[in-house]
Amino acid sequence: MREYSLDDEVDFLIIGTGAGGGTLAGRLAEMGFSVVALDAGAYFRPLDDFASDETEQEKLYWNDRRIVDGGTPLQMGGKNSGKAVGGSMVHFAMVSLRFRPEWFRSRSVLGYGADWPLDWREMWRYYREAELALAISGPVTYPWGPKRPRYPYRAHEINSAGRLLALGAEALGYQWTETPLATVSAPRGKSPPCVYRGFCRFGCSTNAKQSTLNTWIPRALAAGAEIRDLAMAGRIEVKGDRATGVHFHREGAWHFQRARNVVVAGYAVETPRLLLNSATSRHPHGLANRSGLVGKYFMTQSNQAVFGRMRDEVRWYKGPPSFTITEHWNYDDRKDFFGGYCWMAQGPLPIEWGFIQTGARGLWGEALRQDMLNYNHQVGLKMVGETLPDAANTVTLADEVDQYGLRIPRITFSWGENDRKLIGHAISEMTRSLEAIGAEDIFPQREDANHLAGTARMGFTPEDSVVDADCRSWDIPNLWVCDGSVFPTTGGVNPSLTIQAIALRTADRIKAMAGRGEL
Amino acid sequence: MNRRFPGYDVLTKRTGPSWNEATRQAVDLRLAVPREPRFFSMAEWAVLDRVSQRIIPQPPGRPPVPIAALIDAKMLRMGAAGTRIEPMPWDGDAWKLALAALEAEAVMRHGQGFAALDDRTADALLTAMQKGEPAGAPWQRVPPGLFFAKRLLPDIVEAYYGHPTAWSEIGFGGPASPRGYVRLDTNRHDPWEAAEAKSEGDLKAYRHNRHVA
Ligand SMILES: Cc1cc2nc3c(=O)[nH]c(=O)nc-3n(C[C@H](O)[C@H](O)[C@H](O)COP(=O)(O)OP(=O)(O)OC[C@H]3O[C@@H](n4cnc5c(N)ncnc54)[C@H](O)[C@@H]3O)c2cc1C
Ligand code: SF4
């Protein structure tokens, strides 16, 4: 690996190496820019370091101090935040979906949320590039949305839980398909095909999973980027309206790395936190925050579910959890609420299943232990739903500090009325689907959320957003944000492919601007 | 004896192709967790131990999963980190406050400590806690319903269902790398997965499970 000295003024210093930062680091390095990418997490070697174990793999999560409050405080940690080179994708569930085109114009076309300053046709090209980079395994024809080419790798065979989703969807008259997944169905480079061990959300110890960690990071290294792990960025230094570098903590001490451009890619909580923690007398409310929108419009996605029990043995612990999907309600607008959702097959491992039994049904005692014996007969459907952007949902700074002495984030969240309506619709639809396949003892899991977004939204003017379409901050021209926090709305599908597509577009835009001397 | 998956012990796969070295090390450490309080005081531990026994009553005839010890170890490791829900303090402190509050509640209601209560009385008190009923000063920073749902149940569940004994009990395949699985269809399982007893004393399932490796 090439290494830069602290005095080298690198072209791009990227904070965070996940879906946004890792992808951008790879592309910018390949374009010939000098790149250093910091990550607070460790650089894991999956073959040696990853156990098949829910508890041990907590080492992949962001478990630094955070405070949650609001009407429905969010559960943070494994479900939504990673801390490792490769970011949250190291333990993501690999579902790789494109937005519905109208979502980029949801305000003007669908009447809610905010428009994106991006054109879906352009995004379609970058989605394709991201799908090729991760060798997504998926169906020959995808049933929803504008035509797209066939996926690079063939779809995986389907497990019992996935088969049951298909049966239920057919009974309801909805289309379903094999979920496009970022795990290979045939060998690719150093990746063997997926062996269906089912621990995907705890890190893939075989490297079949195609995450930032084993796609873009190796490409970044090969192109001369430096990946600096266990390096926590604490403050971005600015002089006037230019960023000059970043203070980071590594091996017990603070250091300062100089840079011509700084990119923040720490995801929807750590990104606003770092911008707010970097306030100066000239930027008293935090960097890139003249609009007052840093930390505002924090979003998650609804991740409620419905579970039931089959007479048959399902053994949902085998394989990626979400082999099949229906996006029916992302494309059918006959609803009395805004936004859409999809649902997917499920395969919680024992601890997570225990959380659901206690959390959703309040079971404990002998009732819990007896019910858990039916583990191999359970079946479930889980939604990924759109949450509307709401200025009252925020990430702000608390007065308490973390292990580095940095002020910690306070995450304030409540579901809105539209969110509740959407969730109610999804729960009743998923319930109908399980009833149609003869599941018994059906129950809903009414509280759950997953992916994060918002807090540094992109937009059209310095007043309505934190960054422009190129992820460049309006206030400080050499400060960029490239991660899930730039989303003005979340759409009803998992976000990582969109984050990667935005990063790929940003890299192209940076190259073009550099060529014109506009950086 | 496990009636649902007779003769199945996920640990018989420990040296086979379903476990890698990282998994063996992680599970070995868990099995060797010290069985005495390091984070909690003796008094807190006694309440925690009794709570754990009531939340997950364990069957006789096999060594119990040391739930209290596993929670003690977790709080030692991460009790001051993670996410805290307003108005609760960080996890380790929240546990200590809640155990003290439960003890005080037991003394107030029944004139004796929680660990000394009979099963029915203990369960009734835990049910009251789950419903958020206790309201005295000791509960101020650990609202009983919130603590019960967000800390007490999850931590106990994680300790128990993260233990190989529980994996064997529910017929979970357990660690599965590098070998993984081949048979994914309904009602199919690989030779290295547990067979379920279809009737009381199903010998076929027992013989299968004795050969899981
Ligand atoms: C369990 C789980 C399952 C998921 N499943 C899916 C799925 O199936 N499909 C999908 O599309 N999405 C999924 N997601 C969501 C997806 O992984 C995220 O949306 C995506 O990775 C976010 O990308 P990002 O670049 O914004 O942030 P991340 O990928 O989270 O990367 C941020 C990185 O920044 C680092 N960082 C943060 N602050 C600092 C700092 N101050 N200094 C140094 N480093 C810092 C962090 O350590 C982290 O590595 C899942 C997420 C989780 C947690
Ligand atoms: S099921 Fe496949 S992708 Fe998931 S962890 Fe196993 S090998 Fe990796």
Beta-carbon separation of A163 and B4 below 8 A: no
* pLDDT band at residue B114 using 50, 70 and 90 as cut-offs: very high
> What SS3 class is residue A84?
strand
Q: Which two tokens stand for residue B136?
A: 């005295």
Three-state SS annotation for A313-335: CCCCCCCCCCCEEECHHHHCCCC
Atom of ligand 2 nearest to the CA of A195: 7
What mean pLDDT comes out for the span A452-468?
98
What mean pLDDT comes out for the span A331-345?
98
* pLDDT band at residue B200 using 50, 70 and 90 as cut-offs: confident
Q: Which two tokens stand for residue A429?
A: 């639809």
Which of A63, A157, A159 shows the shortest C-beta gap to B78?
Answer: A63
Residues of chain B in contact with residue A54, where contact means CB-CB under 8 angstroms, are 158, 162
* CB distance B196 to A373 below 8 Å: no
Residue A353 to residue B151: CA distance in whole angstroms: 16
Report phi then psi at A31, rounded to 5: -85, -5
Residue A355 to residue A346: CA distance in whole angstroms: 14
Give the residue, out of A156, A199, A201, with the most ligand 2 atoms within 8 A of its beta carbon, to mutate for a pocket test: A199
A384 Cβ inside 6 Å of ligand 1: no
Check residue A73 and report its DSSP letter: P
Residue corresponding to tokens 């990550």: A39
The answer to whether the pTM exceeds 0.90 is yes
* CB distance B209 to B10 below 8 Å: no
Give the residue, out of A197, A202, A207, A210, with the most ligand 2 atoms within 8 A of its beta carbon, to mutate for a pocket test: A197
pLDDT tens digits along A183-199: 999 999 999 999 999 99
Per-residue model confidence (pLDDT) at position B2: 83
Q: Write out the H or E segment, with its range, that includes residue A30.
A: helix A19-30
Give the residue, out of A59, A127, A496, A500, with the most ligand 1 atoms within 8 A of its beta carbon, to mutate for a pocket test: A496
Residue B52 to residue A364: CA distance in whole angstroms: 10
A348 Cβ inside 6 Å of ligand 1: no
Residue A497 to residue A134: CA distance in whole angstroms: 10
Residue corresponding to tokens 């149609």: A436
Residues of chain A in contact with residue B4, where contact means CB-CB under 8 angstroms, are 373
Beta-carbon separation of A197 and B177 below 8 A: yes
DSSP secondary structure letters along A179-246? PPBSB-SS-BTTBPPP---S-GGG--TTS-B--GGGTHHHHHHHTT-EEE-S-EEEEEEEETTEEEEE
Residues of chain B in contact with residue A75, where contact means CB-CB under 8 angstroms, are 83, 150
What lies within 8 Å, CB to CB, of A271 at 6+ separation is A16, A264, A265, A455, A456, A481, A483, A485
Which of B83, B174, B176 shows the shortest C-beta gap to A76?
Answer: B83
Check residue A375 and report its DSSP letter: G
A354 interfaces chain B, CB cutoff of 8 Å: yes
What mean pLDDT comes out for the span A463-489?
98
Residue A499 to residue A271: CA distance in whole angstroms: 14
Residue B189 to residue B207: CA distance in whole angstroms: 15
* CB distance A381 to A360 below 8 Å: no
Which of residues 81 through 120 in chain B touch A, CB cutoff 8 A?
A: 81-86, 90
| Beta strands in B23-151, from DSSP E residues, in sequence order | 83-85
Residue B55 to residue B52: CA distance in whole angstroms: 5
A199 Cβ inside 6 Å of ligand 2: yes
What mean pLDDT comes out for the span B61-88?
96
Which of B26, B176, B184 shows the shortest C-beta gap to A157?
Answer: B184
Which of residues 243 through 272 in chain A touch B, CB cutoff 8 A?
A: none
- A503 CA to chain B: closest CA distance, Å? 29
First-residue to last-residue Cα distance in chain A: 27
Task: Give, to the nearest 10 degrees, the angle between helix B91-110 and helix B67-78.
Answer: 140
* Average pLDDT score, chain A: 98
Indicate which ligand has the atom closest to the C-alpha of A208.
2
* Residue B135 burial class via C-beta count within 10 angstroms: exposed 0-12, middle 13-18, buried 19 and up: exposed
Q: Write out the H or E segment, with its range, that includes residue A271.
A: helix A267-277
Identify the CA nearest to B66 among candidates B36, B25, B23. B36
pLDDT at residue B201 above 90? no
pLDDT at residue B78 above 70? yes
Residues in chain B: 213
A66 interfaces chain B, CB cutoff of 8 Å: yes
A91 Cβ inside 6 Å of ligand 2: no
Indicate which ligand has the atom closest to the C-alpha of B18.
2
- CATH architecture of the region A10-515: 3-Layer(bba) Sandwich (3.50)
B62 interfaces chain A, CB cutoff of 8 Å: no
- Chain-centroid distance, C-alpha A334: 28
pLDDT tens digits along A145-196: 999 999 999 999 999 999 999 999 999 999 999 999 999 999 999 999 999 9
A318 Cβ inside 6 Å of ligand 2: no
A321 Cβ inside 6 Å of ligand 1: no
pLDDT tens digits along A190-234: 999 999 999 999 999 999 999 999 999 999 999 999 999 999 999
Residue A127 to residue A138: CA distance in whole angstroms: 14
Which of residues 5 through 24 in chain B touch A, CB cutoff 8 A?
A: 18-23
The torsion angle over the Cα atoms of residues A23, A88, A124 and A132, rounded to 10 degrees, is 60
* CB distance A219 to A87 below 8 Å: no
Residues of chain B in contact with residue A373, where contact means CB-CB under 8 angstroms, are 4, 169-171
Which of residues 205 through 244 in chain A touch B, CB cutoff 8 A?
A: 205-206
Residue A295 to residue A38: CA distance in whole angstroms: 22
pLDDT tens digits along A90-141: 999 999 999 999 999 999 999 999 999 999 999 999 999 999 999 999 999 9
Residue A181 to residue A93: CA distance in whole angstroms: 8
| Beta strands in A304-417, from DSSP E residues, in sequence order | 305-309, 324-326, 341-345, 378-385, 394-401, 407-412
> What SS3 class is residue A137?
strand
Give, using CA atoms, the residue closest to atom 1 of ligand 2: A196
Ligand 2 centroid distance, CA of A197 (Å): 5
DSSP secondary structure letters along A233-264? EEEEEEETTEEEEEEEEETTEEEEEEEEEEEE
Per-residue model confidence (pLDDT) at position B120: 98
Atom of ligand 1 nearest to the CA of A499: 23
A198 Cβ inside 6 Å of ligand 2: yes
- The percentage of residues in chain A with a pLDDT greater than 70, rounded to a whole number, is 100
Residue B208 to residue A462: CA distance in whole angstroms: 67
Of the residues B1, B185, B188, B190, the best mutation for testing chain A's interface (the one with the most A CB atoms within 10 Å of its CB) is B185
Indicate which ligand has the atom closest to the C-alpha of A23.
1
pLDDT tens digits along A357-406: 999 999 999 999 999 999 999 999 999 999 999 999 999 999 999 999 99
Per-residue model confidence (pLDDT) at position B1: 66
B206 interfaces chain A, CB cutoff of 8 Å: no
Q: Report the chain A residue with the minimal C-alpha distance to residue B176.
A: A197
Residue A512 to residue A470: CA distance in whole angstroms: 11
Q: Where are the domains of chain B?
A: 10-186
Bond preceding residue B178 cis, omega within 30 of 0: yes
Check residue B59 and report its DSSP letter: P
Structure ipTM:
0.98
- Chain-centroid distance, C-alpha B96: 18
Residue A416 to residue A389: CA distance in whole angstroms: 9
Residue B101 to residue B106: CA distance in whole angstroms: 9
Q: Which two tokens stand for residue A281?
A: 């007398």
* Average pLDDT score, chain B: 97
Identify the CA nearest to A368 among candidates B111, B197, B67, B97. B67
Per-residue model confidence (pLDDT) at position B3: 87
Residue corresponding to tokens 């003394």: B107
